[in-house]
Amino acid sequence: MLWLKAFHVIFMVTWFAGLFYLPRLFVYHASASDGQTRATFKVMERKLLVMCHIGAALTILFGTLMLVLWPAFLQLGWMHAKLLLVAGLIGYHVWCARLVGQFARDENQRSHLWFRWFNEVPVLFLIAIVLLAILKPF
């Protein structure tokens, strides 16, 4: 159990490193005007998205393994709330992946200011999910 939990947390950190840095790249990419700079951002975003996918897949894999081995967690209210928030987080991740595609095709219409706000969303998910997982309030 502790090994699974340790790897769950390790890959969660990998996933969040990507979810924090990817929208930050969008902020700079949205204000970049020359072709060479944009091309560099496209490569960075594509590679970071791969890292994000790996982090997400392995966090979910180790989390799901724990639930399969200890299904009693599924009876607890905080776990229901956590899984609901994780579903929202996966939605955010998918949105980021679509934005990478839009930037790659030079189709982005959003301002760097919009991405600055977008960048704050994963902070809220991180705080809420970690508080639920550690404090287990209900």
- Residues lying near ligand HEM in the complex (CB under 6 A) are found at 5, 8-9, 12, 59-60, 63-64, 66-67, 73, 86, 89, 126, 129-130, 133-134
Measured from each CB, the residue nearest to ligand HEM is 63
What per-residue string of b and e applies to 35-54 under the rule 16 or more CB within 10 Å gives b? eeeeeebbeebeebbeebee
Q: How far is the CB of 26 from ligand HEM (least distance, A)?
A: 21
- The minimum distance between CB 53 and ligand HEM, in angstroms, equals 14
Q: Tell me the Ramachandran region of residue 108: left when phi exceeds 0, alpha when psi lies from -120 to 50, beta otherwise.
A: beta
Q: Is 136 helix (H, G, I), strand (E, B) or coil?
A: coil
C-alpha 6/C-alpha 2 separation (Å) is 6
- For ligand HEM, the closer of residues 9 and 44 by Cβ is 9
Q: Shortest approach of ligand HEM to residue 12 CB, angstroms?
A: 4
Closer to ligand HEM by CB, 73 or 114: give it.
73
39 vs 81: CA distance, rounded Å: 40
Min. distance of Cβ 84 from ligand HEM in angstroms? Answer: 11
Whichever of 12 and 99 has its CB closer to ligand HEM, that residue is 12
For CA atoms 57, 58, 63, 69, the dihedral sign is: positive
Which lies closer to ligand HEM via its Cβ, residue 35 or residue 71?
Answer: 71
Tell me the C-alpha distance between 34 and 68, whole Å.
50
Closer by beta carbon to ligand HEM, 48 or else 89: 89
